[in-house]
Amino acid sequence: MSIEGSSISKDFSEGSSSSSGGGSTHGSTTPSRYESQKRRDWNTFCQYLKNQRPPVPLSHCNCNQVLEFLRYLDQFGKTKVHIQGCMFYGQPEPPAPCTCPLRQAWGSLDALIGRLRAAYEENGGSQETNPFASGAIRVYLRDVRECQAKARGIPYKKKKKKTTISQTKGSGGHDDQDSSSTSMMHFVP
């Protein structure tokens, strides 16, 4: 079964409800939206590897194929990212259209990597060899986030490692506490 590039992009960018892998749904339980999306993303990535010339077996997949996949998906993005020469570079709401490219938003790529990281291990991959957990992927995502923040004029605030509860100008201290404590969990050795 072969899926063309347009089907791959449709599954990722539109959250298509069809499964690319031909898997069957279990009778009485319906998977959550997250589980369904994770399965579609996994099937899309596996199909991407099969479509490579020569095809890349999953057992030989490394962070380089993951990075190529992310760059491939960029062409199907829907987020305007201004280039440095654009007169709207750094403006969050430009007053007129421009010819700058559409890209995948950083948040979408970050969420995709999270789902693929989980799917890799659920499909028999070991945590130690997970290409989606590679430092190179984290660096790439950080670079995309910073580049898009500058280009779109949207600052991304770095989360502090220590939890500090501060009520400033209705910042919603409760949300800050939840997000910083969640981010702390990622740094536990």
Spatial separation of the C-alpha atoms in residues 131 and 11, rounded to whole Å: 21
pLDDT band at residue 35, thresholds of 50, 70 and 90?
Answer: very high
pLDDT band at 23 (very low <50, low <70, confident <90, very high): very low
Token pair, residue 12, equals 């990722």
Q: Give pLDDT tens digits for 94-150.
A: 999 999 999 999 999 999 999 999 999 999 999 999 999 999 999 999 999 999 999
pLDDT (0 to 100) of residue 107 = 95
Would you kindly state where each structural domain of the chain is located, as residue ranges?
A: 5-22+29-158
The pLDDT tens digits of the residues spanning 147-179 come to 999 998 887 666 666 655 554 444 444 444 343
Q: Which residue has the tokens 């779109």?
A: 152
Instruction: State yes or no: pLDDT of 183 exceeds 90.
Output: no
Which residue is associated with the tokens 């994770």? 38
Report the pLDDT value the prediction gives residue 161, as an integer from 0 to 100: 64
